[in-house]
Amino acid sequence: MKLIIKPNKGFGKIGVEIDEELWEDIEHLSERYGVSPGSVIEIALRGEFREPKGNLEELEEKARELEERTWELEREYAPLRFKAYGLSEDNKILAIELSGLIAENNQLKRFLRMKPERNVELRKLISYYLQG
């Protein structure tokens, strides 16, 4: 594979031939760290490597422990989130029913030639539960 390096300013450019194995390593690094292959090459050319501070195996073990703890918390709180979702859906249904009952009540008041009530606070509350 041919890599062409262009400067930010000027017209000069450099062409370099890269073998497939090296390109696969570059792509692997770019996926691992979430950067573009161009950024990996740029860091390699500039020599801006960061050495890990501390023992790398220790840091990886600590990261694994934190990940395990995260999954434990996820398992603990998943049922609560599911119940909260169910309650929010129940609230939406109740808000829809309440909105319908208010409309029906206002229609009956008009039929009886009574003044319909405009309860703004209740409308805001219904709107809140319908949105979330």
Higher pLDDT, 39 or 10: 39
Residues 86-122: pLDDT tens digits?
999 999 999 999 999 999 999 999 999 998 888 899 9
Residues 75-84: pLDDT tens digits?
999 999 999 9
**Predicted structure pTM score:** 0.48
Cα separation, 95 vs 99, whole angstroms = 6
Strands in the chain per DSSP E: 2-5, 14-17
- Averaged pLDDT for residues 52-57: 75
Cα separation, 63 vs 94, whole angstroms = 45
